[in-house]
Structure 1
Amino acid sequence: MTGTGFTVEFAAPKPQRLAHWWAHVLRWTVGPDDVVRPTGPGVELRFAASEADKAGKNAVHLELRSESYEHQRDTLLRLFNAGARFTDEGEDVPYQEMTDPAGNELRLLEPRQSDVDTGPVASVVVGSSDPSADSARWVSAGLQVVRRDPALIALHSTARTGPYLEFKLGGPTTGMLRVLPEL
């Protein structure tokens, strides 16, 4: 248990391979059940077998934290050398969008002060047609709202460690990743 109140589950044709990839790039550990567990603040990553290949963008993606521009560069190189691929975001944004070897989207953020206690995963972002309604069940499960605006609701554990869980208006609402209550 990580104390975040949630777990992220990936569906993949080769879940064990993907679990080891994420453990490597995050510098976390893989348990005997192929669950990737943080070595500090973080969120458990679970991997389920799926016959389906990924098609389209996921409703859920991970945003990775950078401590400094040098750390961002080192993380970018580690991701790329491990097999992550760049995507063409096509706009001036404060992150680098990439995909893991299974095609799941991830973002490497520019350094920002608010992410100091998140661990390497700054936030888990969920595409939503109604962020207020989608976040309500997580608030009743013990997470607290730390940011609310018309297009985004960000939640965090009461301990204020681990990644944020963010519900963002728009974007896809299905895919090969999902957020589950912490097991």
Structure 2
Amino acid sequence: MTGTGFTVEFATARPLLLARWWAQVLDWTVDTSAADPVVRPAGPGIPLLFAGAAREKSGKNGVHLDLRSESHDHERTMLLRLFNAGARFADIGQGEDVPWVVMTDPDGNELCLLEPRKSDVDTGAVHSVVIDSADPERDARRWTGTTSLIVVHREPHLVALHSPDRSGPYLEFLSATGPGTTLRVLPHP
């Protein structure tokens, strides 16, 4: 486990089924020792918690995961792994010239498979957790004030945080307003 200081929570009518799906595509393990299943990384990463919910997902999530690829061959392998596991391509208005592929998991939760990127950070399979934010600067200040995360990148529309030990995924606040979400990012107590 790394010093990321957060967990991503999926609200789903099928917690164990969705947890197993994510564990399969990320090559992580499912922990069923608690009331809600948790998918735990094999190396750097963040826990994914799958909480039961009565309602189905509707609309675009305000939180999504960006998955890392190490090379173009790895990107193709991951794309096939995701598709063969039941992920589907999605259009959320991203256009055709972006360096990622947008897909959805079996519950319709958006995810992005990134083209290979050079980095001195070991993010693990999940490169970043992206949160739509009406005010990225404000949200970043709140997280840096309550966790060990630090600001590592700033643009007018984006603030990226990361752990000081340079492992695990980025937490990115992206200037956007959107509907409610079936994913939440929870700080560790």
Cα distance between partner residues in 2 of 1:44 and 1:52: 23
**Residue 186 of structure 2 is aligned to residue 180 of structure 1:** yes
Figure out how many residues of one structure are paired with residues of the other and give that number. 183
Matched residue, 2:100: 95
1:114 partner SS: coil
Q: Please, which moves more after superposition, 2-11 or 66-75? A: 2-11
Matched residue, 2:163: 157
Q: Structure 1 residue 2: deviation in Å?
A: 3.6
TM superposition score normalised by structure 1: 0.96
Mapping of residues 33-182 of structure 1, within 5 Å: 33=34, 34-88=37-91, 89-114=94-119, 116-140=121-145, 141-172=147-178, 174-182=180-188
Any conservation in 2 of the 1:65–1:115 contact (CA below 8 Å)? no
Q: Please, which moves more after superposition, 17-26 or 169-178? A: 169-178
**Residue 23 of structure 2 is aligned to residue 17 of structure 1:** no
Cα distance between partner residues in 2 of 1:85 and 1:173: 21
Cα distance between partner residues in 1 of 2:63 and 2:178: 8
Q: Structure 1 residue 142: deviation in Å?
A: 1.4
**Once superposed, which parts of structure 1, at least 4 consecutive aligned residues long, lie more than 6 Å away?**
none
Any conservation in 2 of the 1:16–1:47 contact (CA below 8 Å)? yes
2:75 partner SS: helix
CA RMSD of aligned residues (A): 1.3
Cα distance between partner residues in 2 of 1:179 and 1:130: 16
Cα distance between partner residues in 1 of 2:120 and 2:30: 24
Any conservation in 2 of the 1:131–1:169 contact (CA below 8 Å)? yes
TM superposition score normalised by structure 2: 0.93
Q: Structure 1 residue 91: deviation in Å?
A: 2.5
1:113 aligned partner, one-letter code? K
Unaligned runs of 5+ in 1: none
Q: Structure 1 residue 116: deviation in Å?
A: 4.7
Any conservation in 2 of the 1:99–1:106 contact (CA below 8 Å)? yes
Q: Taking structure 1 as reference, are residues 87 and 172 closer, same or farther at Cα in structure 2, changes over 3 Å only? A: same
Cα distance between partner residues in 1 of 2:188 and 2:102: 27
Q: Taking structure 1 as reference, are residues 129 and 92 closer, same or farther at Cα in structure 2, changes over 3 Å only? A: same
Cα distance between partner residues in 1 of 2:142 and 2:186: 11
Unaligned runs of 5+ in 2: none
Q: Structure 1 residue 174: deviation in Å?
A: 2.2
Q: Structure 1 residue 182: deviation in Å?
A: 2.3
